């Protein structure tokens, strides 16, 4: 009797392990995405716009690069910034064009797989501190343009620093479980019919990754999509991140803030948002206006 129980447990454990192994397997790009990527006539200038819309520099510039640094300094993606979270401390890796320390040897497919699937060329899951849950919504054209621009960026020899993450999050396969729960290729909100608002929706949900800080997270760090952009505790420190749109702000207020960093009360952006403004001040005025036009449609904001 006992022996049969033990045997049964072993079979169940093996089955469970097998199911875990299959379920947490890193995914590859869908065929149609691959086809769209290679068919796209990539353009580095358009890619530069995507670079600022996606806010890559906020996390991947070196720790000493301030939000008011010159554009050239914000294009050096040597990594090293520290993000202390409840799950451990993440260090943004070197994603410069350095062939050894960075991603200089990557192919377009590897770049797109990292960005939109959260999977490395070695077939490992990335931690979702890298907002691929947002970037998965980016169009293949934008991804291909971005990669074209990326190849014009400088190499930086700084070695990436290993993340300091505790068990079970230290297991990369566990990220596969996390992805089953939280990696959703559907937009959170429906695409608006108005073309300007639709553009704003794309910038907010596919590139700008506003939701990563402005949406609360559950116990496992997954975004609480029911409270999308409703304001949240600061994910990397003390304090709160406000709801979007901020209480009483007009579309014009948001647009001006994204350009200058000045709130309607002429306070200024601080914390991580100062780095966000360093990106949004470099996107087109139309795109800033589109974000403003879209955000004000979200809700009459509850006070954060």
Partner 1 sequence: MTSRFAALALAAAFAFPSLASAQEVDPNVHARQSLMDLYAYNLGVLGAMAQARMPYDADAASSAATSLYHLARSGSARMWPEGTDSMSIEGTRALPAIWDDMAGFGEDFMALQTATETMMNAAGTDLASLQGAMGPLGSACGGCHQSFRQPQ
Residues in contact with partner 1 by CB under 8 A are 66-68, 234, 237-242, 256, 260-262, 265-275, 277, 304
Q: Shortest approach of partner 1 to residue 227 CB, angstroms?
A: 17
- Maximum Cα interatomic distance, the chain, rounded to a whole number of Å: 76
User: Tokens standing for 293?
Assistant: 């036009």
Q: Shortest approach of partner 1 to residue 256 CB, angstroms?
A: 5
User: Tokens standing for 38?
Assistant: 């290679």
Q: Of 30 and 63, which has the nearer Cβ to partner 1?
A: 63
Q: Of 30 and 237, which has the nearer Cβ to partner 1?
A: 237
Q: Of 75 and 277, which has the nearer Cβ to partner 1?
A: 277
CA distance 170 to 191: 36
Q: Shortest approach of partner 1 to residue 59 CB, angstroms?
A: 14
Q: Shortest approach of partner 1 to residue 192 CB, angstroms?
A: 26
CA distance 178 to 184: 11
Q: Of 67 and 126, which has the nearer Cβ to partner 1?
A: 67
Q: Of 56 and 213, which has the nearer Cβ to partner 1?
A: 213
Q: Shortest approach of partner 1 to residue 277 CB, angstroms?
A: 7
CA distance 263 to 259: 10
Q: Of 52 and 126, which has the nearer Cβ to partner 1?
A: 52
Q: Of 53 and 255, which has the nearer Cβ to partner 1?
A: 255
Q: Shortest approach of partner 1 to residue 272 CB, angstroms?
A: 8
Q: Shortest approach of partner 1 to residue 197 CB, angstroms?
A: 22
């Amino acid at each position: 009797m006992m022996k049969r129980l033990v045997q049964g447990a072993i079979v169940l454990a093996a089955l469970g392990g097998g199911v875990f192994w299959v379920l947490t397997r890193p995914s590859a790009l869908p065929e149609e995405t691959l086809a769209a990527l290679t068919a796209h006539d990539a353009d580095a200038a358009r890619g530069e716009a995507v670079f600022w819309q996606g806010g890559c520099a906020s996390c991947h510039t070196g720790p000493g690069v301030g939000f008011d640094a010159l554009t050239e300094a914000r294009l050096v993606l040597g990594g090293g910034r520290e993000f202390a979270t409840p799950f451990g401390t993440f260090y943004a890796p070197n994603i410069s064009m350095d062939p050894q320390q960075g991603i200089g040897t990557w192919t377009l497919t590897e770049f797109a797989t990292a960005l939109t699937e959260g999977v490395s060329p070695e077939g490992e899951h990335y931690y979702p501190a890298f907002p691929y849950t947002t970037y998965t919504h980016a169009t293949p054209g934008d991804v291909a343009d971005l990669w074209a621009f990326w190849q014009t960026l400088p190499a930086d020899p700084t070695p990436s620093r290993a993340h300091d993450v505790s068990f079970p999050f230290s297991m990369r396969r566990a990220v596969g479980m996390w992805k089953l729960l939280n990696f959703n290729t559907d937009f959170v909100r429906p695409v608006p019919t108005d073309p300007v608002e639709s553009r704003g929706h794309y910038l907010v949900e596919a590139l700008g990754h506003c939701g990563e800080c402005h949406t609360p997270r559950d116990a496992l760090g997954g975004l609480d999509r029911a409270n999308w952009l409703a304001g949240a505790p600061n994910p990397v420190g003390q304090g709160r991140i406000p709801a979007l749109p901020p209480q009483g702000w007009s579309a014009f207020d948001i647009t001006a803030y994204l350009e200058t960093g000045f709130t309607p009360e002429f306070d200024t952006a601080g914390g991580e948002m100062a780095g966000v403004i360093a990106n949004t001040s470099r996107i087109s005025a139309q795109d800033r206006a589109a974000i403003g036009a879209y955000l004000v449609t979200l809700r009459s904001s509850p006070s954060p």
